[in-house]
Chain A
Amino acid sequence: EAGVAQSPRYKIIEKRQSVAFWCNPISGHATLYWYQQILGQGPKLLIQFQNNGVVDDSQLPKDRFSAERLKGVDSTLKIQPAKLEDSAVYLCASSLVGDRSQETQYFGPGTRLLVL
């Protein structure tokens, strides 16, 4: 079974530039999460999708971050314009739908973003 795929793996940009990350979840996983992990901290949820609908985007800085999952499969997270504090690893995870779906989330390798 293929895991969660993410690209790019690394990205270096200057502040005020824009950047986009892509995620392809495990086949059949209806729930997709984007997390931000700052160095030395645990992952923090940015947005959760179920199929192509948003379940929770309460912690997404909507003035600069946007995400979509148009066909209910792969997803794109965009930052525009980037700030220095956006330097972090952006993790995509997926899980099955169900009462215990949160029990096991499968994470991708992440995209390491450095904003200069």
Chain B
Amino acid sequence: GQSLEQPSEVTAVEGAIVQINCTYQTSGFYGLSWYQQHDGGAPTFLSYNALDGLEETGRFSSFLSRSDSYGYLLLQELQMKDSASYFCAVGNQAGTALIFGKGTTLSVSS
């Protein structure tokens, strides 16, 4: 089977740093993506890792370790608007659709 595991909920306060972990078990691996989805909204692309290491995009960073089948999304300087669900997703091979995890609900309080 194919599975992606991520925590169901994370809470934090404004200005803090939070890390959302994702471990995956899939038949193939082409890359790990992260998407953000606000309540009632569409998923929007945040970050992508095809190779080991850290990718930084503003306040968000994503890390991948292919040997450990593990990645994480790091959100810094949290803001209230970051309250949303965050999904990790794996592409099995080039050009295929994504397999999504169940999502992590992040709640940011003041």
Across-interface contacts of B33 in A (CB, < 8 A): 102-103
Across-interface contacts of A45 in B (CB, < 8 A): 97-99
Interface string of B35-50 (1 = CB under 8 A from A): 0000001111100101
Q: Decide if B87 touches A42 in the complex (CB within 8 Å).
A: yes
CB distance from B66 to the nearest CB of A (A): 16
Contact-residue bracket for chain B: 20 to 34
Tell me how many residue pairs across A and B have CB atoms closer than 8 Å.
71
With CB as the reference atom, state the residue of chain B lying closest to A34.
B97
Q: Decide if B42 touches A102 in the complex (CB within 8 Å).
A: no
CB distance from A2 to the nearest CB of B (A): 14
Q: Decide if A41 touches B102 in the complex (CB within 8 Å).
A: yes
Cβ of A75 under 8 Å from chain B: no
CB distance from A96 to the nearest CB of B (A): 10
Across-interface contacts of A91 in B (CB, < 8 A): 42-43
CB distance from A109 to the nearest CB of B (A): 5
Binding stretch for chain A, among B11-19, B68-76, B88-96: B88-96
Across-interface contacts of B30 in A (CB, < 8 A): 102
- Taking A41-B103, A42-B87, A104-B45 as known contacts, 4 extra A-B pairs with beta carbons closer than 8 A to each other, sorted by chain A number, are A42-B4, A56-B96, A101-B94, A103-B50
Chain B interface residues toward A at CB < 8 A: 4, 30-31, 33, 41-45, 48, 50, 87, 89, 91, 94-103
